[in-house]
Amino acid sequence: MKITETEIEGVVIIEPQVFGDERGYFFESFSQREFNAAVRPVEFVQDNESKSRYGVVRGLHFQQGRHVQSKLVRVVQGAVLDIAVDIRKGSPTFGKYVAVELSEENKRQLFIPRGFAHGFSVLTPEVIFQYKCDNYYNRESEGAIAWDDPELAIDWRIPADSVILSEKDKHHPTLSVAPGLFDYNEDLYK
């Protein structure tokens, strides 16, 4: 696998080696041994999948406290713009984000470490999105930031009048007042 570092330390793009011929293609989508050696030691415990249509924006979500999560995300069908926002107070990149297009064609994956909010916008008629998490989801530990926070100024690559949100995602606070953010100096992997 090819690892590409982004402008925010710890957030990396992973591209698998794809073997194709007249039958189709094959690639190893995940190897715990290779991931731990190339990215960081993480034990994934939960896999999730969602299906969405064009215009859907999911995010910006995170798990607070002892339920904090790293995520390894990828697209099986369609394409998304995937976003990871640094929400570690005191970080030199606090409030900055990485935006990466993930698609069934490019087969890229994005690793989002603990201490980041995550979201994506659906760029194709339909998308099937998969993610691995290194901690179990806990409803009481949900945290989120407004997808349209003017200070973040994320270009979701969807016209604002075409954005489709869940009822919850319509009412999240901006980063400047969001509760449950992380401390950059705290080891979130202890």
Active site amino acids: 61, 131
Query: Do residues 73 and 130 touch, judged by C-beta distance below 8 A?
Result: yes
Q: Please give the structure tokens belonging to residue 58.
A: 């999911």
Measured distance CA(106)–CA(115) in Å, rounded? 26
